[in-house]
Structure 1
């Protein structure tokens, strides 16, 4: 724990004023947790789902906990100092609007909208639990910075890709490095997250083939109608910082709604060469042992592109 406060030596008590971080937290909870909230609707391509607006006020609202907040108004997000949390064994969480059971009284296609700013000049908010009898908006603190290392929970999204690239060893390739990088959160953009609310990752694997390093780059786009192709990049120099370069590429992916950089940009960043390798129609994130033939065919297609890139002489 990292806290700020006052220590009383005589009684050996510490009075905490502020909590800055809590790390290595243990919890006896299931490894997979599903949150169900009718206010959340997965966004479908080309369609608008139900949404509830959480407003950030232009100025700091007045906290008035003498009044009860209402459930009928927008939530106001309160800017507060962030507290870092780190769980020793983080859980894999998903969110959706329904558990699949039909409920009476629901209206299909109904959307929830926030109140119009022009008709609501209320600046007082309450941080209590909202009730139907409340009269002022609720203020929700947004001050949790989760630092838990949960990247291993999302490796299964790339099981097929990892299994396929492992097969490159029979062609003389040797995996020398790999890393999963979460796409960054950018204001005004949403593609850094999957429809279930989890972060979207980029995975790259660096391998050596005939004394030359290459990188295979894959992005989790199984939720999209059009999946990104696999990017094959030839390492420009003997010593190369793949993490920095591909982290910057992550920013570009979010800004362009999951599109690889243009050929002109790739030619500038990877002058040694690059290729885009489209996915097969039957490739899914998870493939079992019985899909060995599919994985082998996928690997063969990629290897033929690699061999061509390796023998290509640049002007």
Structure 2
């Protein structure tokens, strides 16, 4: 149960039974969507809240609750073989509201099964993992008006040269806090750089502008769009099935595996509100309010205020895996204003309990929030091997001068723990840990090295006796807990945990000189580091 924020006017454990049309009353600026619940008489939520909305999903959970239905995995066929139908055509959805039954689906065959996939659910999984993109889909050319792709950026960074920079323009409504999520950086680049994906996203507004029906007091539209080419993408989902399991209706997509990303190596991201966090400095006042209470209320009826940066709230994430992804980092951050300036004083230090998921407007009076509903599982840690250049040079010295043998290193991106940002480098790229096993005179050791080249933290190399660890199990079984304790322990190795795991004398922390330039140590410093590691092995 990842959702910790509540919808203000919904009861506990409100299960979504049906999803209907989009509509907007003439005296309102924002669009709603028909939603029916098992435990509530409420009939609509904001379209901006779509990241939360799939059939049979439970909102305001007080206990863990999976979407009802059966799990299914299938592979998407070529787009040429997709047809269109309605929810009612599947004969598997028992909720008989006419607006629900008339919602549009894609229909295709996969491994002998007929799959009915609601168009809105596919769009949610592809695009609407946050409220910003849900809102942008209903604005003509929003992405073109809010982002500029610089294909010829300044490439003066030797360690991290950029192929291109994606610039959020000063007029953008995209909250800067979303760019802290590497998965969102991948998603927005995927949208902007893959023409097929971008055209699919644009088709939402094209149909919306052409097909919405206007009545005296309200406008209505039945969602539809043109899907991108997704041939070969694997889907994990939940839904209803016919008795013979030959026909399926999908309630919720949980994973998309095999999304195509253009062959680009390094992408920078610029936002007009990015500020420079200098190593060792505090966060100052204002900002994006990432440190939130464990629960915040979403006001379904309110418009977003223009007076605050977006708070970050979370919903059950849709997972995705690309065939490849680039390295990414934030660039062009402006120096932070000194504390106490007028700009800081104008921003509240604390947000009230209720937030809005709508874009800010002059009528809004509720602090706006950015929804994070994306979990990017693409394994790209190997792209950051160069961050450990000095570490690998130190291992080469051990090998050449002391006969130490080393295994192939493993690089892992450190996980997010709580609301801490220690898993991120100052430029927003992931902070990684390298793991390598070395052997000398029939004794084995594991070396753990964390990338601190941004100067934000300093941590020694951890040396662990492989012999002492062997009776407890394989190191890979303990790494997740080591990472969790490292990041929740003020960025220090958890000594008591290692004492209990391998014994007090069987693990050591070997300090090394702090780098003075781009994370690289001098040759003299690397030699001293190698000497200290070799000494502590004996």
TM range (shorter): 0.7 to 0.9
Task: Specify the alignment match of 2:506 in structure 1.
Answer: 273
2:292 is the alignment partner of 1:59: no
SS in 2 for 1:142: strand
Residues 13, 215 of structure 1: CA spacing in aligned structure 2 closer, same or farther, 3 A cutoff? closer
Deviation at 1:179, TM superposition (A): 1.9
Q: TM-score, normalised by structure 2?
A: 0.46
Task: Specify the alignment match of 1:178 in structure 2.
Answer: 409
Deviation at 1:195, TM superposition (A): 2.4
Conserved in 1, the CA contact under 8 Å of 2:437 and 2:444?
yes
**2: CA distance between counterparts of 1:7 and 1:93?**
34
Task: Specify the alignment match of 1:157 in structure 2.
Answer: 387
RMSD (CA atoms): 3.9
Task: Specify the alignment match of 1:110 in structure 2.
Answer: 344
SS in 2 for 1:260: coil
Task: Specify the alignment match of 1:16 in structure 2.
Answer: 119
Deviation at 1:160, TM superposition (A): 0.6
Deviation at 1:163, TM superposition (A): 1.8
Task: Give the gaps of 5 or more residues in structure 1.
Answer: 309-315
Task: Specify the alignment match of 1:85 in structure 2.
Answer: 320
Deviation at 1:108, TM superposition (A): 7.4
Deviation at 1:77, TM superposition (A): 4.9
Deviation at 1:183, TM superposition (A): 2.6
2:333 is the alignment partner of 1:98: yes
Q: TM-score, normalised by structure 1?
A: 0.74
Number of corresponding residues: 291
Task: Specify the alignment match of 2:53 in structure 1.
Answer: none
Deviation at 1:296, TM superposition (A): 3.4
**1: CA distance between counterparts of 2:520 and 2:365?**
53
**2: CA distance between counterparts of 1:282 and 1:2?**
48
**1: CA distance between counterparts of 2:391 and 2:373?**
36
More helix by share: 2
Query: Match for 2:451 among 201, 205, 220?
Result: 220
For each residue in 1:180-212, what CA deviation from the matched residue of structure 2 results, as whole angstroms up to 9, or x when unmatched?
233332224332222223332222111122222
Residues 303, 78 of structure 1: CA spacing in aligned structure 2 closer, same or farther, 3 A cutoff? closer
**1: CA distance between counterparts of 2:515 and 2:531?**
15
Deviation at 1:257, TM superposition (A): 0.9
Residues 41, 282 of structure 1: CA spacing in aligned structure 2 closer, same or farther, 3 A cutoff? closer
Residues 25-64 of structure 1 mapped to structure 2, 5 A cutoff: 25-27=260-262, 31-38=266-273, 40-42=275-277, 44-45=279-280, 47-50=282-285, 51-53=287-289, 58-63=296-301
